[in-house]
Structure 1
Amino acid sequence: MMNEYLTFSLTVFLSFFAVMNPIANTPIFLGVVEGKSKKEIKHIAKKSTLTAFIIVVVFVIAGKYIFQLFGITIPAFKITGGVLLFYVGFEMLMSKKSKIHNNDTEESSDSIAISPLAIPILAGPGTIVTAMNQVTDAGYDKIAIVCIVFGVMILLTYLAFILSDRILEKLGANLIAVVGKIMGLILAIIGTDMLVAGVKLAFDL
Structure 2
Amino acid sequence: MHDYVTSLFTTFMAFFAIMNPFANLPVFLSLTKKTSKEKRNEIASKACINAFFIVAVFMFGGNYIFNIFGLTIEALRITGGIIIFYIGFEMLLTQSSKVQSNDTDNIDIGIAISPLAIPILAGPGTIVTAINLTADQPIKHVATVALMFAGICLLTYLTFRSATYFYEKLGENLIQVISKLMGLILAVIGMAMLIGGIKEAFNIS
Instruction: Give the structure-1-normalised TM-score.
Output: 0.65
2:36 is matched with 37
Q: Give 5+ residue unaligned stretches, structure 1.
A: 89-97, 178-183, 185-194, 196-205
1:65 Cα deviation (Å)? Answer: 2.5
User: How many angstroms does 1:124 deviate by?
Assistant: 1.1
- In the alignment, structure 1 residue 106 sits paired with structure 2 residue 100: yes
Q: What are structure 2's unaligned runs of at least 5 residues?
A: 92-98, 102-106, 171-177, 183-188, 190-199, 201-205
After superposition, the Cα gap between the structure-2 partners of 1:110 and 1:7, relative to the gap in structure 1 and judged at 3 Å, is same
Aligned CA-pair RMSD: 3.2
2:64 and 2:42 map into 1 onto residues whose CA distance is 33
Distance verdict in 2 for CA 1:20–1:100, change over 3 Å: farther
- How far off its partner does 1:121 sit? 0.7
Runs of 4+ aligned residues of structure 1 deviating over 3 Å after TM superposition are: 67-72, 98-102, 165-170
Q: How does 1:1-205 map to 2 (within 5 A)?
A: 2-66=1-65, 68-69=67-68, 101-102=84-85, 103=87, 104=91, 105-107=99-101, 108-166=107-165
Residue correspondences, number? 156
SS of alignment partner, residue 12 of structure 2 = helix
Letter in 2 for 1:106: Q
Deviation of residue 9 (structure 1)?
1.2
How far residue 140 of structure 1 moved from its aligned partner, in angstroms, is 1.5
Q: Please state how far the C-alpha of 1:38 moved relative to its aligned partner.
A: 0.8
Q: CA deviation at 1:101?
A: 4.3
Instruction: Supply the distance in 1 between the matched residues of 2:53 and 2:126 (Cα, whole angstroms).
Output: 13
Q: Indicate the percent of aligned positions where both proteins have the same amino acid.
A: 42
**Conserved in 2, the CA contact under 8 Å of 1:60 and 1:132?**
yes
Taking the aligned partners of 2:47 and 2:70, their CA distance within structure 1 comes to 31
Q: Secondary structure at the match of 2:137?
A: coil
How much has 1:106 moved relative to structure 2? 2.5
- Give the letter aligned to residue 134 of structure 1: L
TM-score by length of 2: 0.65
Measured after TM superposition, the shift of residue 66 of structure 1 is: 2.8
Q: Aligned partners of 1:15 and 1:100: how far apart in 2?
A: 24
> Does the 8 A contact of 1:22 with 1:160 survive in 2?
yes
